[in-house]
Amino acid sequence: MSFVAAIHAGWRSLALGIIENTIISISSNSEVYAWLGPSISIENYEVGKEFYNYFMNIDDDLSNAFLKIDDKYKFSLPIAARIKLNKIGVNKIYGSTVDQDFCTFNDDKRFYSYRRDKTTGRMASMIWINDI
């Protein structure tokens, strides 16, 4: 059986297991491919120690998604998503496979970013299965 699913995994839903819960709920024997969409890059996503501690209390394997610079932390959503996907056996990961591929903060021609512009906007991704 083929299936397609779209997950919005911001930091909160990522921490609470949206990736794992979605894959488990599908319960298919099909090979799973993942595509990571645009997000803010680690260089532009500064977070506090409380944020870091929150993630470490949930899953200390996610420490590789953080950079500590002095007393500040930077966080990578794509790296965290990749870690979580790998832990559940998903290894075919495409899209924003390198943190800088689709940075919503740096690329003002293609992406909206509230952190950059201080104004609300919208983005959409589309997903489908072609008949072969």
Rounded Cα–Cα distance for residues 83 and 40 (Å): 17
Domain ranges of the chain: 11-41+79-117
Report whether 90 contacts 23 (CB < 8 A): yes
Residue with the bigger pLDDT between 71 and 56: it is 56
Percent above pLDDT 70 for the chain: 95
Mean pLDDT calculated for residue range 62-73: 92
Mean pLDDT of 44-70: 93
pTM of this prediction? 0.87
